[in-house]
Structure 1
Amino acid sequence: MTAVALLAVERIKLFSTRSPWWCAALALVMTSGIATLIAMEMPAEAPVQVSTTQFTYSFGMSVVMVMAALAVTTEYRFGTMRATFQAVPNRNAVMVAKVVVVALLAGVVGEVIAFTSWGASRLVAADASQLGLESSADWRHVAGVGLVYAAAAVLAVGVGALVRHTAGAVAVLLVYSMVGESLIALIPDLGPKIQKWLPFAMADNFVLGSPSGEVVGGMGPPAPEGALAPWPSLGYFAAVAVAVFLVSLVVVNRRDA
């Protein structure tokens, strides 16, 4: 089977279920809705920053990771993965096609969410003077969300392939991303130093961080104190995601479907 045919098959399998549509809708409503409420409550004397409009991006990312994990675990649950591997013995090709389709969808969802959050915030903010996309950092804060979502989807597909059970994969992804890294930061002395190098802290630094490490104008949420500059932080996060996916390829090839 050609690469184009594999991509088409994975696209059909993904969109033949309702979960991607529900996950995308939930991520959009939840993330942009909360961002809009934050912008509405910001007083005129504290203008909303572009980075502030993306402060809730992690909510949508969590939902997108669930969607990506489901793309794998659902096939294991209903046995369609076994049939797929029988039809296409090259398991690496199947998994790569799956991750490409899921990552592209996650990237598109991330861009829609980011620009919706920014646009809605600009409409309702008491003072939208700081919400123009006038610098490369402003564009990174908004357009960069799709890149992070795509990388997070690669990570989630890898975890889904390793765990194979929906509840387990979702628990690993959500507990670690939402709680695990924060708990590590509580370790006295060493914790904050380790936390800066953890993958989702790097994702935060790419989306919300500024080259100077400060929020322009002193308003809005504090910029993350990243161990790397924003763009290297994205590379770090993507490298971790790809590494987890590559490990999952090894495991998928070694055990029964």
Structure 2
Amino acid sequence: MTLLAVERIKLFTTRSPWWCALVTLVLTIGFSALIVGNSGDGEPSATVASTQFGYGFGTAVIMVLAALSVTTEYRFGTMRTTFQAIPRRGRALLSKAVVVALLGLVIGEVSAFGSWAVGILLKPEAELALNSAADWVNVAGVGVVYALAAVLAVAVGILLRHSAGAIALLLIYALAVEGLVQLIPGIGNDIHQWMPFNVAEKFLSGDGASNAVDGIAAGAPLSDSPLSQAWALAYFAGVVLVLLAVAIGVAKKRDA
């Protein structure tokens, strides 16, 4: 608990978490207002899934926040002080990952339910009630995805130790690489099915039960992952934890 408290203090005494949290909320809720507000009274109408249309932009900002939580320590040399005070580097880095993940979880839930609430205010006549498990996962699951994405970004930050490099890699991968993989002739679609953020999308959207009105799709395209929602979450979490384990192992063997 002491390590978690130390990491919490270090995180919240800098400005970047506050700014990133604000940007995440503005992007996700603002984008939800834009999409839902411009949905027609007929088809396509607003759905629970369409209120979460902007969560991907929030994911990118959360990863920036998480990467900075690590790389700024390397930049200013405080990571060396941390490792001198806590020789067991794995515990220190794991504590940082937990704190950042919890922050990502909170921001994700606030942004997701905030987006959903804005959707209800703008389109009170639309079918936006959380009446099924699929609806609840589509909204509440955003916080889980943000938490795991934050841990992934911490791992990348540990491996690269450079703010610009880590942020560039994370943003390029999340916003471009997975989509471009589909353009590879022959095997592109097969590879895309197993890309981490595509699988995370499958966890949120499932088979599209919260993404349709009267059986007609009205939201974003669904993930092409063959996994069920539960296995999709397990797969995404597994990829993140393996990457974190590799990053901690590397950090133990090199100079701070």
The TM-score with structure 1 as length reference comes to 0.95
**Cα deviation, residue 221, structure 1:** 2.4
**Over aligned residue pairs, what C-alpha RMSD do you find?**
1.4
Q: Alpha carbons of 1:119 and 1:90: their partners in 2 closer, same or farther (altered >3 Å)?
A: same
**Equivalent residue in structure 2 for 1:96, among 84, 94, 97:** 94
SS in 2 for 1:228: coil
CA distance in 1, matches of 2:66, 2:40: 38
Structure 2 residue 33 is the aligned partner of structure 1 residue 36: yes
Q: Does the CA contact (< 8 Å) of 1:55 and 1:208 recur in 2?
A: no
Distance 1:164 1:137 in 2: 39
| Deviation, structure 1 residue 231 | 1.9
* 2-structure distance, mates of 1:212, 1:22: 34
Unaligned 5+ residue runs, structure 2?
A: none
Is 2:152 the counterpart of 1:169? Answer: no
Query: Hey, what does 2:136 align to over in structure 1?
Result: 139
Counting only pairs closer than 5 Å after superposition, residues 104-183 of structure 1 correspond to structure 2 as: 104-125=102-123, 127-128=125-126, 130-183=127-180
Structure 1 Cα separation of the partners of residues 78 and 138 of structure 2: 39
TM-score by length of 2: 0.95
Deviations 1:48-96 (A, max 9, x none): 1111111211100100000000000000000000001001101011001
Instruction: Give the 3 Å change call, closer, same or farther, for CA 203–174 of structure 1 in structure 2.
Output: same
Q: Distance in 1 between matches of 2:155 and 2:227?
A: 25
Q: Which residue of 2 aligns with 1:224?
A: 223
Per-residue deviation, residues 1-42 of structure 1 (Å, max 9, x unmatched): xxx111110000000000000000001001110111100100
Letter in 2 for 1:100: V
Q: For residue 223 of structure 1, report the CA deviation from its aligned partner.
A: 2.2
CA distance, structure 2, for counterparts of residue 123 and residue 239 of structure 1: 37
List per-residue Cα deviations over 1:197-216 (Å, max 9, x = no partner).
01010011112232679745
Instruction: Please tell me whether residue 83 in structure 1 is matched to residue 72 in structure 2.
Output: no
Whether 2:46 is the aligned partner of 1:69: answer no
* Cα distance in 2, alignment partners of residues 199 and 224 from structure 1: 11
- 1:48 pairs with 38, 46, 49, which one? 46
1:225 counterpart SS class: coil
Q: Report the count of equivalent residues.
A: 253
Give the whole-Å Cα distance in 1 for the aligned partners of 2:209 and 2:106. Answer: 29
Shift of 1:123: 0.8
Given residue 238 of structure 1, which amino acid in structure 2 is its aligned partner?
A
Rounded to whole Å, the distance in 1 between the matches of 2:204 and 2:53 is 9
Moved more, 52-61 or 17-26: 52-61
Matches of 1:132 and 1:87, distance apart in 2: 50
Q: Aligned-pair distance for 1:220?
A: 2.3
Is residue 196–residue 202 contact of structure 1 (8 Å, CA) maintained in 2?
yes
For residue 120 of structure 2, what is the amino acid of its counterpart?
R
